Amino acid sequence: MPSQAPSTPAARLAALRDAMREHGIDAWWLPSSDPHNSEYLPEHWAGRAWLSGFDGSVGTLVVTQEAAGVWVDSRYWVQAEAQLAGSGIDLMKLQPGQADAPVRWLAEHLEAGATVGFDADVVSLASARQFERHLTPAGIRLRGDLDLLDAIWPDRPALPEAPLYAHPPAYLDESRAERLSRLRAAMAERGADWHPISTLDDIAWLTQLRGADVEFNPVFLAHLLVGRDSATLFVAPDKLDAPLTEALAADGIAVADYADWHRRLGELPKGARVLLDPAKLTLGTRRALPESATLVEAYQPSTLAKGCKSDADLAHVREVMEEDGAALCEFFAWLEDALARGGRVTELTVDEKLTAARAARPGFVSRSFATIAGFNANGALPHYRATPEAHSVIEGDGLLLIDSGGQYHGGTTDITRVVPVGTITDAHREDFTRVLKGTIALSRAHFPRDIPSPHLDAIARAPLWASGRDYGHGTGHGVGYFLNVHEGPQVIAWSAPAAPHTAMRPGMITSIEPGVYRPGQWGIRIENLAANRPAEESEFGDFLRFETLTLCPIDTRCIDVTLLDAAEADWLDAYHAEVRERLAPKLEGQALAWLEKRTRPLDRDR
């Protein structure tokens, strides 16, 4: 191990190649993942970002002695190209529906007899099987018993140590024991005796605990092993205090050391029938199970249960949306006034002021993700993040895109709005209105219960496709209940597989967020959260509709009213009337005046 960590991506790449040679590894696979298959990672497992310099939330790094590349989708192409410059690592543009492109690249570039190395503790069982399908027939060996980052990263961050706390009972309508009982019923249906769970949001939901081990997401590092009549939470010592430990025990949950996970799995009874989801457990966890275990493979039951919010949950979310909407009104009123007075406002100021407005609302815990405030060309980067070293001053003419959210005890928010700065053009307004038409189209949709969520994507895109526009990201993602801002099982994206577990069910909360991005010019996205609610029942089956949950005006100054039909204009006026009615009691002064101005009915004659 080097005494001092290499200080640049190029030096880190060279150090990795030295370690590969030392261990007889011809190619190294480094995903954006951890032992919990998380999207957002504790720094200890943020190895791809540390090694490459590209810090987007997704991306796969593959390194051989002759080449290196990071595969990312279109949301990150511009960012990755800039951050990888000079690193010796190429940007590899991942196209929709081509998730296996990095594996196929390895199969094409490695000779028979070569060895691909990876850390089995951060590679899902499903991904490992993909390796076997593509690489084993080509005579390429697989080795998953190494973590080469340990060899080249001497100051690697330690695992987080934040204490756990209980989700306040006022926001819960069932007990831990009831949730475990529902899970065991699903296990029994599949004839399973044991069910290992590693996904952090599922564990937080089942145990009704929260933590701060992952930035912006109130989850904690843990594993959970559920048996027919037992449950054990594996968590680092000292993260639970005595009262919480006793409360868990009263609900039938024992506590063990996080480090004992693999050992305890290996001690399961001979012939145990183990329910697991290959996409949600790592190869390392599978290898820890006894050889005699019978695998019962199915989608993880708690993920669907967690995704379907109860009526009580939704009532709390509606209250949170009113508080969040009031904070947004206060912020936007301040922003308009500051810009009108010629004050210096930067993209960083936006984040600071918006977070402060949310923090003043009851129940606020933290942001739900890093605020995206992108002015003009920066708004064309879907996952742009301003930094002290690189950000824009908001001055002159153009569009400001703000994508932000909050974590509250009663729910999680995620909203995107675009506002005009100075004078905007007809081209701005046409793009904005086409995006708005997509938002309205999906928001108004009724659809069969259990329809695979990816099938709904075209509804939002149709108004954009009609004018030759499109966007490179999905239209919607599930949102947790004081949990992760991105959660399954539903996802509204045509490129996602329309699997049975993606069926739309009552109570699910999903974002609706079409967009248009013009690189180097501007970006537009309009995002609301919506809940699946019962609609018609007929001889053709049961139908669902969307209830829009997000409460914040959509800036009518950016709209070309001539592009809206009467039904679309009616929807927007009705939405603004509801926003005004529900938020006005929580506002006063400048913020109330701003709300009343921005929710006036459309002038349909202009």
SS (H, E, C) 140-205: CEEECECCCHHHHCCCCCCCCCCCCEECCHHHCCCCHHHHHHHHHHHHHHCCCCEEEECCHHHHHH
Question: Which domain CATH number covers 107?
Answer: 3.40.350.10
pLDDT for 78:
84
Residues 520 and 579 in one domain: yes
Answer yes or no: do 420 and 511 share one domain.
yes
Q: Which residues lie closer than 8 Å to 313 by C-beta, 6 or more apart? A: 173, 411, 481, 507
pLDDT at 2 over 60: no
Q: Which residue has the higher pLDDT, 88 or 56?
A: 88
SS3 label, residue 447: strand
Identify whether 211 is part of a domain.
yes
The rounded mean pLDDT for the chain is 95
Cα–Cα distance, 152 to 17 (Å, whole number): 10
CATH code of the domain containing 331: 3.90.230.10
483 and 542 share one domain: yes
Between residues 117 and 100, the one the model is more confident about: 117
How high is the pLDDT of residue 605? 73
Residue 373 near residue 351, CB atoms below 8 Å: yes
Residue 165, strand partner residues? 210
Classify 423 as helix, strand or coil.
Answer: coil
In a domain, 231, yes or no: yes
Q: Assess whether pLDDT exceeds 90 at residue 94.
A: no
pLDDT score for 606:
60
Residues 169 and 262 occupy one common structural domain: yes
Among 123, 152, 181, give the residue marking a domain's end. Answer: 152
The average pLDDT across 94-111 equals 90
CA proximity to 470, closest of 524, 416, 398 = 524
pLDDT at 321: 98
Place of tokens 């992952």: 214
List alpha helices for 53-142, DSSP H. 77-84, 101-109, 125-135
Q: Nearest-CA neighbor of 127 among 315, 271, 283? A: 283
Q: Are residues 568 and 545 in the same domain?
A: yes
How would residue 6 be classed by pLDDT, with cut points 50, 70 and 90?
confident
Q: How far apart are CA 384 and CA 76, in angstroms?
A: 9
Contacts of 191 (CB under 8 A, 6+ apart): 273, 296
State how far Cα 90 lies from the chain centre: 25
- Mean pLDDT for the stretch of residues 345-358: 97
Q: What is the pLDDT of residues 143-158, one digit of tens each?
A: 999 999 998 999 999 9
The domain boundary, picked from 94, 117, 152, lies at 152
CA distance 522 to 508: 32
- Shared domain for 342 and 411, answered yes or no, is yes
Does 448 fall in a domain? Answer: yes
Number of domains in the chain: 3
| Residue % of the chain over a pLDDT of 70 | 99
- When pLDDT is cut at 50, 70 and 90, the band that residue 603 belongs to is confident
In this prediction, residue 534 has a pLDDT band, given cuts at 50, 70 and 90, of very high
Q: Can you give the pTM of this predicted structure? A: 0.95
pLDDT of residue 463: 98
> Does the pLDDT at position 479 exceed 70?
yes
Residues 491 and 452 in one domain: yes
Alpha-carbon gap, residue 80 to 74, rounded angstroms = 10
Residue 603 in domain: no
Q: In 260-273, which positions are buried (b, 16+ CB within 10 angstroms) versus exposed (e)?
A: ebbebbeebeeebb
Among 103, 107, 111, smallest CA distance to 29 is for: 103
Q: How confident is the model at residue 521, as a pLDDT?
A: 97
- Whether residue 197 is predicted with pLDDT greater than 50 in this model: the reply is yes
Residue 2 lies in a domain: no
pLDDT tens sequence across 544-572? 999 999 999 999 999 999 999 999 999 99
Cβ distance 210 to 165 under 8 Å?
A: yes
**Residue 390: both structure tokens together:** 């690189």
Residue 3: pLDDT band by 50, 70, 90 thresholds?
low
Range of the domain at 215: 165-306
pLDDT tens, residue by residue, 13-38? 999 999 999 999 999 999 999 999 99
Looking only at the bridges linking them, the beta strands covering 364-367 and 406-408 are: antiparallel
Q: Are residues 547 and 402 in the same domain?
A: yes
| 394, 426: one domain | yes
pLDDT tens digits for 208-251? 999 999 999 999 999 999 999 999 999 999 999 999 999 999 99
- For residues 327 and 424, state if they share a domain: yes
Last residue of a domain, one of 152, 180, 206: 152
Q: pLDDT value at position 213?
A: 96
Residues constituting the chain: 606
Strand ranges in 209-282 using DSSP code E only, listed in sequence order:
209-210, 223-227, 231-235, 254-257, 273-276
Residue type, 405: G
In a domain, 159, yes or no: no
Asked whether residue 1 carries a pLDDT value surpassing 50, the answer given is: no
Same domain for 112 and 211, yes or no, is no
At 325 the pLDDT is: 98
Cα–chain-centroid distance for residue 108? 32
How far, in Å, are 30, 140, 304, 385, 416 from residue 116 at the CA level? 11, 7, 35, 34, 41
